[in-house]
Each structure stands twice: as C-alpha cells, then as structure tokens.
C-alpha cells in the first residue's frame, strides 16, 4: 500500500491540492521528476536543439485541428471537395482551422528535417543513441505515410492524380505489384474506396503508430541522455558529478530548457501565423493551385508533382531510367570488387558478396527501370536507419571533425535542395541529368561514409563541454 505524504496544516491551498493529487497519482509526479525537473540535459545546447520540442508542438497542433476538421469533413468521393469548401466558407473560423492544418503539415516537415540535420551534424545517432535515431527515422516514415494519405482527402485535381501516380508505382513490384496496388486502392482506379481507406488510416491508424513512436523516442532519449554540440557524454562513467550525483555539465530541463524552448515556440508561432494569414498557399508549394479544382478522372493536369516535402525522393524516382540502371550496375560491380579485394574477411564471405552482386546485376537487367526507381525512392529513406553504423569517424560532433567535412555536409544540403527543386519541375533533359547526378551523390554520401568519415585528422575533443553563459 502506498505511503501518503503528510503536509503542514498551515500550507497554502495550492500546496494542499498538489499533495492530494500526488498521494493519489504518484506515477504522474514521478514521471514529471524523471523527464522534466530532475532530467539533466547538457548546459551547452544551442538553437539547433529547439526543433525537437517544436515537432512535438506541431504534432499536437495537427491532432487538435484535425479533430475539428473531421467534424465537418465527408469522406465520400462525391462530397469530399464540397465539404472542404463548406469548411472554408461556412463553418465559423473553418478557414483558419483548415489553413492551420495545411500549413502545419509543411511546418512539421520543416522542423523534422532541421531536427534530423542537427542529429547529422552533432552525431546524435552514435552510440549509445542508436535506438533513439531508429525510432526517429520510424517517426519520419510514419509522418510521410500520414502526409501522403492526408494529401488525398481534399479530393482536388492534384490530390487525385498525385495519389494515382504514387499508388500505381506499387504495381511495378514484380509478382505482387498489381495485387498490392489493387489492395491499396480498394478498386481498379482511385475512387471512393481509396478515399475511405486513406481517411481511416489518416485519422486513426497512422496517428496511433506515430504517437507510440514519439513516446518510445522520448523514453529512449531520456534513458541514455541527450547529446550536445560537443558530442561529449555528460553522464558517462568518468563524467564529473556533484555530491548528489548530478552531472556538473548538466542543468535541469525544467525550468531552464522549458524557457529556452518557449522562446523558440514564440519565434516559430510568429512565422507560422504570418504564413497562415498572409500566404497560406506559399506560392503553390504548401497548397497547389490545381488542388482548388475538383478531382476529374477525365482531365489530367499538365504536370503532376507531389508536395514539396516529397519532391527530393520523387526526383530520385524519376532519375532512374534504363541508362541509369547501367550506371547503378557499374556502381554495384565497383562496390563488390572493392569489398572483395580490400575487405579483411574470410574467403567464404567474399564469395557471398560476389554471388550477391551477380544476382543483383541479373535482376537489374531483367526488371523494368520503373521498379528500380521505386527501390531507390524507398532506399533513400531506409538508408537513414543505418547511419549509426555507416559513420566511422573517431569523433561525434562536426566541431571536432576535419574542416573539410563541413564542405561535404554543405554540398549534401545543396544537393538535397536541388533534388527538391527538380522534383517540382516538368521533366527535361537537363533536369533528368542533374537528378541522376544528385541521386548518385545522395547515396554516395551515405554508402561511402565508412571510408570518407575516417579520413583526416580530427581536432582534440575537450574533456568537458564548452559553454559560455549568455
């Protein structure tokens, strides 16, 4: 039986009420202490560390606005577009809720991309945080699924034809492709059955998975502790601690970083509301102009492109042509040859590598390039899961890596933006060639990381975090 904590009869009413709740719900108060007031985070966090809390804020915002939109939305192919127009024109403040939700989708991807890039810069995926990173990548996958399914719901021209193109990609999978595409659509074409399936997954199934992954991500993070810009473990076995066992290089998350995050939230909300009130379409990037036209199965838009946050991967998909397959075969041959010749492994493993490469080449020659485009598009996300084992640098943070590493990361960012831009443009010979080069660089960045991340002499890493009060 739980032991009740006593409180002075002269205590304030607020203290008595808090004591009453704590005696009857101690688990909640223990969770608050473990994850907030007694959770020690490194004292040298910078502005890059606000995007995790911003992602949590946008998740709550999307759930709340989604609930209100669901009250008026009709998941019916004949009524869906009209119900969205009803929300925009007749529901009190409906236009604001809809714009908050549509802008929130783009804001979610912006803060998540920045959050992941911060992890890339400071090595937040390295030991002992591999599982934190894997949960984060799983959140990213679930977020992409949630956004794609929600994109169909307005039932505009771009929603309809974008879903038509993406779902048809699954039919390129050998043997099971046509049946899988039929299962996803629920019909032979994108229609009412597809809309109902996507609505149920968007509103119920995927959000539940997303919330579970977010909880797992936070619990795993707080179990091993947060990383910092120096990549130094403040809770390691040799880290300095005070007489209470708290790390000397850490400070309680609350109130210090809650105030830090509130500043970030205020700045974010200023930009967020500015977009909502002055440019909710963002020039056609957040809400495409074709999506204000009802879906028409008989009229194909001149140019079909996904929303901006999918365009880097869509650009990689379009980059895989028949001639690009031969380039990929050459890459497989070179990679397998390098592994067999230079790798320090038993002969049997070298034989397995050679045999696997041979089978892969035969498959690439006999399967349509469209399928390999789908593989490349999916592989561009899946490869992120393996980042903790691809990075072999002796130091975590970019601060202490050789200076030229910053240029490699800079080119990677520029390349990603280039792929994103090309993904929204119509197909052209120059754009196709640039997409192919960008795709090769994207995968080369990760697949060659075990080699290039070890090159150069790292700078000396300090014993304790570097921090200047401000």
Q: What is the pLDDT of residues 105-118, one digit of tens each?
A: 999 999 999 999 99
**Which of 269, 284, 299 is the C-terminal boundary of a domain?**
284
Q: Rounded to whole angstroms, how far apart are CA atoms 239 and 237? A: 6
The first and second tokens of residue 325, run together, are 């397959």
pLDDT value, residue 350: 65
Closest by Cα among 226, 102, 220, 96 to 158: 102
Length of the chain: 470
| 280-326 pLDDT tens trace | 999 888 999 899 999 998 898 888 888 999 999 999 999 998 888 88
For the chain, give me the number of helices (H) and strands (E)?
Answer: 19, 2
> Residue 422 domain-assigned?
yes
Same domain, 226 and 350: no
Q: How many CB atoms lie within 10 A of CB 74?
A: 16
Which residue intervals of 75-186 are DSSP H helices?
A: 80-89, 94-122, 130-152, 157-169, 177-185
Same domain, 167 and 312: no
DSSP 251: E
246 is in an annotated binding site: no
Q: Rounded to whole angstroms, how far apart are CA atoms 460 and 399? A: 10
101 is in an annotated binding site: yes
Same domain, 87 and 131: yes
Identity of the highest mean pLDDT range in 252-261, 335-344, 352-361, 459-468: 252-261
| 41-77 pLDDT tens trace | 999 898 999 999 999 999 999 999 999 999 999 999 9
Same domain, 178 and 141: yes
The boundaries of the domain holding residue 127 are 34-284
pLDDT value, residue 343: 61
Same domain, 128 and 247: yes
Q: Rounded to whole angstroms, how far apart are CA atoms 77 and 371? A: 30
202 is in an annotated binding site: yes
> Residue 279 domain-assigned?
yes
Closest by Cα among 293, 305, 245, 275 to 426: 305
> Residue 460 domain-assigned?
no
Closest by Cα among 188, 183, 200, 111 to 149: 200
> Residue 23 domain-assigned?
no
CB 321 within 8 A of CB 369: yes
Same domain, 254 and 315: no
3-state secondary structure of 293: coil
Q: β-pairing, 40-42 with 250-252?
A: antiparallel
User: DSSP characters for 266-285?
Assistant: HHHHHHHHHHHHH-TTGGGT
115 is in an annotated binding site: yes
254 is in an annotated binding site: no
| 74-112 pLDDT tens trace | 999 999 999 999 999 999 999 999 999 999 999 999 999
Same domain, 258 and 313: no
Same domain, 233 and 148: yes
pLDDT value, residue 302: 83
Same domain, 323 and 262: no
Domain CATH code at residue 388: 1.20.810.10
Same domain, 154 and 222: yes
């Amino acid at each position: 039986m739980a032991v009740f904590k006593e409180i002075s009869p002269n205590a304030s009413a607020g203290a008595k009420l808090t004591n009453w709740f704590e005696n009857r719900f101690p688990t909640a108060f223990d969770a608050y202490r473990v994850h907030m007031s007694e959770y020690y985070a490194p004292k040298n966090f910078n502005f890059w560390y606000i995007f995790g809390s911003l992602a949590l804020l946008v998740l709550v915002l999307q759930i709340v606005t989604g609930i209100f939109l669901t009250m008026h939305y009709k998941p019916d192919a004949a009524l869906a577009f009209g119900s969205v127009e009803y929300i925009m024109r007749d529901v009190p403040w409906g236009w604001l809720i809809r714009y908050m939700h549509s802008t929130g989708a783009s804001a979610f991807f912006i803060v998540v991309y920045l959050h992941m890039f911060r992890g890339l810069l400071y090595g937040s995926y390295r030991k002992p945080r591999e599982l934190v990173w894997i949960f984060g990548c799983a959140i990213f996958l679930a977020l992409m699924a949630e956004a794609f399914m929600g994109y169909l719901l307005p039932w505009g021209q771009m929603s309809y034809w974008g879903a038509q193109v993406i779902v048809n990609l699954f039919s390129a999978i050998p043997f099971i492709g046509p049946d899988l595409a039929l299962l996803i659509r629920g019909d032979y074409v994108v229609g009412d059955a597809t809309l109902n399936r996507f609505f149920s997954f968007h509103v119920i199934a995927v959000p539940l998975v997303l919330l579970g992954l977010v909880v797992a991500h936070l619990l795993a993070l707080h179990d091993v502790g947060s990383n910092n810009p120096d990549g130094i473990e403040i809770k390691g076995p040799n880290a300095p601690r005070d007489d209470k066992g708290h790390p000397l290089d850490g400070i309680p998350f609350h109130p210090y970083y809650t105030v830090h995050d509130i500043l970030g939230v205020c700045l974010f909300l200023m930009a967020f509301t500015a977009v909502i009130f002055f440019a909710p379409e963002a020039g056609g990037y957040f809400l495409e102009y074709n999506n204000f036209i009802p879906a028409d199965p008989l009229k194909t838009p001149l140019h079909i492109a996904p929303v901006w946050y999918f365009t880097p991967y869509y650009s990689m998909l379009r980059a895989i042509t028949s001639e690009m397959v031969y380039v990929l075969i050459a890459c497989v041959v070179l990679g397998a040859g390098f592994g067999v010749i230079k790798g320090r492994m038993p002969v049997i493993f070298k034989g397995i590598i050679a045999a696997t490469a041979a089978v892969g080449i035969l498959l690439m020659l006999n399967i349509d390039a469209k399928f390999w485009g789908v593989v490349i598009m999916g592989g561009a996300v899946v490869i992120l899961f393996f980042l903790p084992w691809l990075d072999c640098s002796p130091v975590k943070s970019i601060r202490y890596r050789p200076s030229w590493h910053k240029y490699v990361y800079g080119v990677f960012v520029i390349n990603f933006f280039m792929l994103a831009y090309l993904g929204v443009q119509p197909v052209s010979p120059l754009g196709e060639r640039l997409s192919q080069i960008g795709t090769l660089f994207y995968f080369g960045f990760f697949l060659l990381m075990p080699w290039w991340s070890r090159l150069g002499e790292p700078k000396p890493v300090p014993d304790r975090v570097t921090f200047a009060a401000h």
